[in-house]
């Protein structure tokens, strides 16, 4: 993921935009975040002892993206996404992407 760009700053806080990637031609993914929030990827990485890439894959899975979509967003082939998911399932002690996504969503809503 690229760096953050400050969109505006007020006494209550700041709003940042981060370019995530391009999922399709002419479709760009931008993440909006405030300066007080921990990154979702960091939360997943720390909660489940994941690598940075595994946390990225899990985050996109929780957003309903298919393996092919995740591969396009992360500019890789679907095979590495499948391998990352195998590791994620093992670390989370789950058997499928639905169970992994549910655990991830719980972790993200607690933070």
Rounded to a whole number of angstroms, the distance between the first and last alpha carbons of the chain is: 21
What is the rounded distance in angstroms from the CA atom of residue 79 to the CA atom of residue 102? 23
Confidence of residue 1 (pLDDT cuts 50, 70, 90): very low
38-50: pLDDT as tens digits:
578 889 999 999 9
Nearest to 1 by CA among 80, 57, 84: 57
| Tokens, residue 94 | 């789950």
* CATH code for the part of the protein at 38-111: 1.10.10.10
* Positions of CATH 1.10.10.10 in the chain: 38-111
Mean pLDDT over 28-40 rounds to 71
| Mean pLDDT computed over 55-60 | 93
What pLDDT score was predicted for residue 32? Answer: 78
Give the model's confidence band at 13: pLDDT under 50 very low, under 70 low, under 90 confident, else very high. Answer: confident
Question: Against a cut of 0.85, is the pTM above it?
Answer: no
């Amino acid at each position: 993921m690229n760096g953050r760009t400050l969109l505006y700053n007020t006494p209550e806080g700041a709003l940042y935009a981060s370019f995530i990637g391009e999922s399709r031609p002419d479709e760009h993914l931008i993440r909006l975040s405030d300066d007080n929030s921990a990154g979702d990827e960091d939360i997943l990485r720390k909660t489940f002892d994941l690598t940075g890439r595994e946390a990225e894959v899990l985050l996109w899975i929780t957003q309903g993206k298919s393996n092919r979509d995740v591969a396009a967003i992360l500019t890789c082939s679907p095979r590495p996404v499948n391998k990352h998911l195998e590791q994620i399932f093992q670390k989370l002690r789950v058997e499928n992407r639905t169970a992994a996504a549910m655990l991830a969503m719980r972790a993200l809503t607690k933070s």
